[in-house]
Each structure stands twice: as C-alpha cells, then as structure tokens.
Structure 1
Amino acid sequence: MILNLPNILTIFRMVAAPGIALVFLFLARPYADWAALLLFAGASVTDWVDGYLARKWEQTSRFGTMLDPIADKAIVVIALATLCALFGMTFWVVFPATFILLREVFVSGLREFLGTTAGLLKVTKLAKWKTTAQMVAIVVLIVYGVFSHYVGMGTFGMDGAMVDDILAGRVEDTSGLGWKFRGMVASYWGGIALLWVAAALTVITGADYLRKAMPFLREDAHD
C-alpha cells in the first residue's frame, strides 16, 4: 500500500462514511447535522480531488484503484440510509433511495463478476452527472435537517397563529424565522427533486451499464 496524498484522501472518505451515521448517535442535533454535513461535503470534494491528483501526479496505485469505488459506494449508501431514518421512512425519500441503492448493489456485483473485463466498460458523462446529482441531493437534504432544527427552536412555545403572523409579516420577525423557514422549505423540496433526478439517472445509467455488459454475460462469451 502506497500512502500518497490521493490514497490518504480516499482513506478519509472511507472513514467518513460510517461517521455520517454515527454522529447522530453521539451528538445532539443540530451538531450532528452540521458534523454529517461537513463529513459528507468534505468526502464529496475529495472524491474529485484524489482522482485529479492521482492522474496529474501519476500516482495511481492498485490500492487506490481498489478502495476508491468502495469508498464512493459506502459514502452514498450510508448517507441515504441515514436520511431514510431521519425522514421517518418518507415515501419521497425512500422510493428514490431504494432504486439508487439497488443500482449500486447491482452494478457492484456485476463489476465483481466481470473482473478485469469491467475496465473495458467506459464511464459515460451521464454517469458522472448521476454521481453529482446524488452528492448534491444528499447535501441539500442534510441542510434541510439543519434548517428544520432552527425553525423548531425558533417556534418553540408559539401557537400556530403567532407563527403564521410572523411569516406573513404581521408581527415583527426578531429571530430571523422567515428566512429560516424559507430555507427549510427550499432545501426540503429542492433536495427531494434532486434525489428523484438522481434516481432517474441511476436507473438509466444502470440499464446502460447492463446493456454494455451483456456481450460478456453470454454463455459463449469465453469462446
């Protein structure tokens, strides 16, 4: 194993993956949300940086090639599982997350079966857009958790009529409840929309990967 900077960044992603879920066990909210946001956003950035540096510095290695896709899958799978728990198994989150997780498991198994042949199947630009959509959707949904906590704290002890008056501008908004509420709504529906886009791209790219792999799956492919 070569401990160059690209590999160290990949190891960071691998370590950060379980941390996204574990912070909610050991930290109170919103500290857990902030910690999960920093871990996931940091890991998402290193996903691009380590590959760029490995190519630029010609520091690719067998260890990095092996661990990089594992870290990518781990960070997305654990983040999605955590979001499903935080959102209380909401249809709008669980349904697209199910297809994303299914695709990741299916493609990982297919790559393992194909072995070295998997390297012949080129990654498309659409697959890169899929990954980007997944990462951004998860970040936005974690941000929603931050906003929802502060909105909850800001409205603690208020009745519905008072909250409505503040949001409508009939009562002075001394705590910034208005922009926090708007941020909460925007991050919720924005994150949901991005997650469904990611799920659609996931299904499309998964089907495309299977189509490309079919010639290698025929019974006579070894002949």
Structure 2
Amino acid sequence: GAITDFFDGYLARKFDALSDFGRMFDPIADKLMVLICLVMLISADIITLAHLPAVLIIIAREILVSGLREFLNGRDITLPVSTLAKYKTSLQMIALGCLLAGPTGDALLPGVLTLGFVMLWLSALLTVMTGYDYLRASLRHLRSQN
C-alpha cells in the first residue's frame, strides 16, 4: 500500500494530474491503512502492551488532526500537509512494513522487528510534533479571522 501510494502521488505530480479528490482522500486512505495495520498487529500479539502507548499516540493524533481539519474546513481554512508530517507518514509505513513481517520476517532478516518498533516510537514522536504544529497553525488562523 505504501509503495503504491508513493508512486500514485509521484505520477500525479509528474503528469500534473493532481485533483481535489486526491488531495482530500489520499491522507484519509493513509490514516485508514495505518489504523487497520495497527489493529491487526495488536490482535496478532506482535504489538504488545509495552508498545501500546505509541499506538495510542498515533491514533489519538490522527483523530484530533482530522477533526481539526474538518472544523477549519467549515471556516474556509485549509492547512497544507507539512513536510514533517510526510516524513511521519513515511516512517509509519516503514515501521508497519517491518512489523507486518512478524516473527517470520525477523527469522529471515534478524532485527527487522526491533527496527519496526524503533521506527514506531520515532513515528509516535513525530506524531506529537506534527500534531502540535497543526494545532499551533490552526490557532494562528483562527485568531487572524477574529
């Protein structure tokens, strides 16, 4: 999913085929893919209680930022996706790929699960940072409207 998402965006930009639909639904599709993968990894006992805080941080931020975007959209305010948020999404996708490889992947490529967990926590850190950035930018836009 992440690889096709990358090429989809790349080709849309290269051939100037960007659309409002793509701008709106691509981030939603990314969030759904991350959420579904996280739930699957928890149900498969790959993500355990020790890593649950990272998952909760990621899910909470996605819900809050999505709600914030909807609220702002109702006031004709749009927040562009930041470069840091794009890095966060990329890091999440790589982490999920490593974690989805599971114990079998770790047996074939020792350390892949550890790498996945490190990247999961790093993406949780970027999640907090980008969530704060979006909140701060939103407040700035709202103050300028008043």
Partner of 1:87: 45
Partner of 2:9: 51
Partner of 2:77: 117
The Cα RMSD (Å) is 2.0
Equivalent-residue separation in structure 2 for 1:90 and 1:63 (angstroms)? 36
Kindly indicate whether the alpha-carbon contact (under 8 Å) linking 1:99 and 1:203 is maintained by their aligned counterparts in 2: yes
Partner of 1:210: 135
Alignment equivalent of 2:33, drawn from 49, 54, 75: 75
CA drift of 1:90 comes to: 1.3
- Name the TM-score, length of structure 1 as normaliser: 0.59
Equivalent-residue separation in structure 2 for 1:122 and 1:182 (angstroms)? 38
Give the structure, 1 or 2, with the largest relative contact order (CA under 8 Å, sep 6 or more): 2
Kindly indicate whether the alpha-carbon contact (under 8 Å) linking 2:99 and 2:112 is maintained by their aligned counterparts in 1: yes
Q: Deviations over 1:12-35 (max 9, x none)?
A: xxxxxxxxxxxxxxxxxxxxxxxx
Query: Max radius of gyration: which structure?
Result: 1
Equivalent-residue separation in structure 2 for 1:89 and 1:138 (angstroms)? 10
Equivalent-residue separation in structure 1 for 2:109 and 2:24 (angstroms)? 43
CA drift of 1:182 comes to: 6.6
CA drift of 1:93 comes to: 2.6
Alignment equivalent of 1:196, drawn from 121, 125, 129: 121
Equivalent-residue separation in structure 1 for 2:14 and 2:105 (angstroms)? 39
Equivalent-residue separation in structure 1 for 2:105 and 2:19 (angstroms)? 41
- Code of the residue aligned with 1:102 in structure 2: it is A
Kindly indicate whether the alpha-carbon contact (under 8 Å) linking 2:91 and 2:119 is maintained by their aligned counterparts in 1: yes
- Equivalent pairs, count: 144
**Matched-pair identity in %:** 42
Q: Deviations over 1:75-124 (max 9, x none)?
A: 01111111111126612331101100000111000001111412xx3433
CA drift of 1:181 comes to: 7.4
- Code of the residue aligned with 2:119 in structure 1: it is L
Kindly indicate whether the alpha-carbon contact (under 8 Å) linking 2:46 and 2:99 is maintained by their aligned counterparts in 1: no
Equivalent-residue separation in structure 1 for 2:142 and 2:60 (angstroms)? 20
Kindly indicate whether the alpha-carbon contact (under 8 Å) linking 2:46 and 2:102 is maintained by their aligned counterparts in 1: no
Structure 1 residues without counterparts, runs of 5 or longer: 1-42, 149-179
Kindly indicate whether the alpha-carbon contact (under 8 Å) linking 1:127 and 1:201 is maintained by their aligned counterparts in 2: yes
Kindly indicate whether the alpha-carbon contact (under 8 Å) linking 2:54 and 2:120 is maintained by their aligned counterparts in 1: yes
Change over 3 Å in CA distance of 1:47–1:89 after alignment to 2? closer
